[in-house]
Amino acid sequence: MTRSDQDSWDLASSVGATATMVAAARALASEATNPIIDDPFAAPLVRAVGLDFFRRLVDGEVVPEGSEDGERDLQLETDSIAVRTRFFDDFFLNAARDGIRQAVILAAGLDARAYRLSWPPGSVVYEVDQPQVVDFKSTAMSKLGATPTADRRTVSIDLREDWPDASRRSGFDAGQPTSWSAEGLLMYLPPEAQDRLFDSITGLSAPGSRLATEFHGDAGRTMSERARQFNERWAKVGCDIDLSGLFFDGERSDVVDYLTGAGWQVSTRPRRELFADYGLVYPDDEESQLRNIVAVTATLR
Ligand SMILES: C[S@@+](CC[C@H](N)C(=O)[O-])C[C@H]1O[C@@H](n2cnc3c(N)ncnc32)[C@H](O)[C@@H]1O
């Protein structure tokens, strides 16, 4: 699978399938003993997409038998998504607690926060993603009888296009503070599109707005290495989805420096510490590139 400037996808193909993969991990994480997240929509949404491997995964039909490594890898992937999900959940809930009533979930995929978080009255949650992704989730959630817990508004557009204008047309109000998330997104954008994304976010943000994302310090070629590791890990448990070629290589801006230069006050939390925050242990001997990811939060001065 290779990428092109105007490529598009649904939830069963290309970058869209990664949203289904992440939702499958959220489904497993929600079933864990002492779960740190609760996403009751993840499993039904994965079943609705219908990709066989992920359907079998959420239905407990994938057992990495005889492979301790496979089991361990699956556990680490599940824990990583659980920690990531919880980090963004807490980010949005803290922003809401502090009075921010407008949230934008960029690259929302099968994220069900607009349906499962306790948003305060008056909250508006925008979800931005490619048209087929947005349409599928909206329809699937209606069929499940799910009701949003905020005023959910969708923006169906590619984030390499003029999504700020599309957001404004959906009612986005740049005059009030916003909480923004870019979760599991940056590596699927070309480096210059990543910069443009943050420029647009900054341009649309009233003072006091907040932003959460993650950043891989060793950008560039390590993204492809990461894809290879993903493939290896999931192939061990029978996954036939090929993630290679989905990432855009090349030097990209350091998110912390870029946001700081744009007027944001930025803080970071290494993956190991984030695991510990939520009572999970990041394996000492873990060699994966994922180890170097940091969780980023920022507030516009
Ligand atoms: C790994 S998934 C993450 C989904 C969601 N944030 C989550 O954590 O469950 C990547 C998501 O990014 C979206 N995405 C990637 N590149 C995009 C683009 N150029 N325009 C719109 N959406 C994009 C995909 O459609 C997909 O939903």
Please tell me the total number of residues recorded for the chain in this structure: 301
Cα 299 to its chain centre, rounded Å, is 19
User: What is 80-300's CATH number?
Assistant: 3.40.50.150
Domain regions of the chain by residue span: 80-300
Task: Give the mean pLDDT per block of 10 residues along the chain (301 residues).
Answer: 89 95 97 97 98 94 70 86 98 98 98 98 98 98 98 98 98 98 94 96 98 79 69 74 81 95 97 95 74 92 93
pLDDT score at 241: 79
Residue nearest to atom 14 of ligand 1 (CA): 107
d(CA 250, CA 267): 25
pLDDT score at 114: 98
> For residue 238, is it left (φ>0), alpha (ψ between -120 and 50) or beta?
left
Q: Which residues are CB-contacts of 121 (< 8 A; sequence separation ≥ 6)?
A: none
Let me know: does 266 contact 296? Beta carbons within 8 Å: yes
For ligand 1, say whether the CB of 239 is within 6 Å of any of its atoms. Answer: no
d(CA 164, CA 206): 14
For ligand 1, say whether the CB of 22 is within 6 Å of any of its atoms. Answer: yes
pLDDT score at 238: 75
Residue nearest to atom 25 of ligand 1 (CA): 16
Q: Say how many C-beta atoms besides its own lie within 10 A of residue 299's C-beta.
A: 19
Let me know: does 190 contact 251? Beta carbons within 8 Å: no
d(CA 285, CA 280): 15
pTM of the entire predicted model: 0.96
CA of 44 to the centre of ligand 1 (A): 19
d(CA 186, CA 18): 13
pLDDT score at 77: 86
pLDDT score at 244: 77
pLDDT score at 234: 72
pLDDT score at 31: 97
pLDDT score at 1: 64
pLDDT score at 243: 76
